[in-house]
Amino acid sequence: MSAHPFTKNSGLLAHYMALDQRGVVQAEYIWIDGDGEVRSKCTTLDGPVKSIKDLKEWNFDGSSTNQAPGGNSDVYLRPVAYYPDPFRLGDNILVLAECYNNDGTPNKANSRYECNKIMNQAASHKPWFGMEQEYSLFDMDERPYGWPKGGFPGPQGPYYCGVGSGKVFARDLVEAHYRACMYAGIKISGINAEVMPSQWEFQVGPCEGIEMGDHLTVARYLLVRVAEEWGVKVSFHPKAVPGDWNGAGCHTNYSTEDMRKEGGMKAIEAAIEKLAQRHLEHIEVYGADNDKRLTGKHETGHIGEFSSGVANRGASIRIPRHVAAQGFGYLEDRRPASNVDPYLATGKIAATTLL
């Protein structure tokens, strides 16, 4: 990849990043803003953090992030989890925070609060989730990354899990993100190049309960942050390129303890029946512009109609072939869009099937 004018000079930076910190550490607080995008800011701490209680409640100007009116703009950041920082290394950390208003109520952008309540109520079922995050890469001129100037790449076919020049784009960026997730302790379970050129997927999971939203949020932060170094933009739009190109989803795999046991197929079928009753309620929280993706084409089920089936990639819910064969395991909800709020999606699935 050629150097981009907005990309920092990593050769120069290396010298400064190797300087001794003299005992103090950096904590990068991460939160979700009023538009569902990640934001972050950094503070210096006296020394290494040993427990979440060592981290202070902090605040920011919510009027600048579509999270509060200008006249009452303080929004509070309450740390909920922290991770080793793959950029600054050492004892430096990333801090995931929930947003609260001045009066102590959860901020409108804080969907984790409700999700956490649901997950606590459902905890005895040990709900596991695994999310397949698809995304598309763009250059600074808003062109799909690596696509020929003034034209289009050849039709879809060679790109999914592709190998070789002209079939995959930005593998180095993807590889960097994968390792950054591992370093941070994010349960990233794999990656693959997707059907549309310059579209990729990473999987996170299985994660139990609230950990799913937390790990996916941090994985998204890491992706956007790594891509920044390459001068590449990440799009989570479910139909990033109009036309005969695959949209982007965030398939959400789900199981409970009952589903994972011998004979678990019964519990899987019971859950699918409950999900069928609430199709539209689920679609409402599965991401904006999902109607542009769930057309019934390009390996999707139609947005207006619930369907399920074994090994059926054109259904709302798919039971993987190997799950049907062994009689227990998990189901795959294929409806969530790539821009889905993972706290809303996992909370909704748990509430519909367990509460």
Is residue 134 within the footprint of ligand ADP (CB under 6 A)?
A: no
Residue among 90, 88, 75, 98 at smallest CA distance from 29? 98
The backbone region for 17, taken as left when phi is positive above 0, alpha when psi lies in -120 to 50, beta otherwise, is alpha
Shortest Å, Cβ 82 to ligand ADP: 23
Contact between 312 and ligand ADP per CB under 6 A: no
Q: Quote the least distance from Cβ 293 to ligand ADP, whole Å.
A: 16
Q: Which is nearer to Mn ion, 73 or 102 (CB)?
A: 73
Provide, rounded to whole angstroms, the least separation between the CB of residue 241 and ligand ADP: 21
Out of 31, 83, 129, 230, which residue is the one contacting ligand ADP (CB under 6 A)? 129
Question: In the set 62, 79, 162, 205, which binds ligand ADP (CB under 6 A)?
Answer: 205
Count helices and strands in the chain by DSSP H and E runs: 9, 13
* Helical segments of 185-334, H only: 211-230, 257-260, 265-277, 279-284, 321-326
- Site residues for Mn ion per CB under 5 A: 132, 201, 251
Q: Mapping DSSP to helix (H, G, I), strand (E, B) and coil, where does residue 209 land?
A: coil
The residue of the chain with the least Cβ separation from Mn ion equals: 251
> How are beta strands 199-208 and 128-138 bridged, if at all?
antiparallel
Supply the minimum distance, in Å, between the C-beta of residue 145 and ligand ADP.
22
Q: Which one, of 280, 294, 296, lies nearest residue 352 by Cα?
A: 280
Does 203 bind ligand ADP (CB under 6 A)? Our answer is: yes
CA distances (Å), origin 294, targets 120, 130, 288, 299, 335: 32, 20, 11, 9, 7
Backbone angles phi and psi of 30, in degrees to 5: -115, 135
Q: Could you tell me the smallest distance in angstroms from the CB atom of residue 317 to ligand ADP?
A: 12
Residues in 238-267 that interact with ligand ADP by CB under 6 A: 251, 253-255, 260
Binding window for ligand ADP (CB under 6 A); candidates: 52-60, 115-123, 127-135, 220-228: 127-135
Q: Is 37 exposed, middle or buried (0-12, 13-18, 19+ CB in 10 A)?
A: middle
List the end-to-end C-alpha distance of the chain, in Å, as a whole number. Answer: 50
206 makes contact, choosing from Mn ion, ligand ADP, none, with CB < 5 to 8 Å by partner type, with ligand ADP
Select from 62, 130, 213, 301 the one that contacts ligand ADP (CB under 6 A).
130
Which is closer to ligand ADP, CB of 177 or CB of 251?
A: 251
Q: Which does 166 bind (CB under 5 to 8 A by kind): ligand ADP, Mn ion, none?
A: none
| CB within 8 Å of 322: residues ≥ 6 apart | 329
Q: Give 86 or 301: the residue with its C-beta nearer to Mn ion.
A: 301
132 binds ligand ADP (CB under 6 A): yes
Give contact residues for ligand ADP (rule: CB under 6 A): 128-130, 132, 189-190, 203, 205-206, 251, 253-255, 260, 329-330, 332
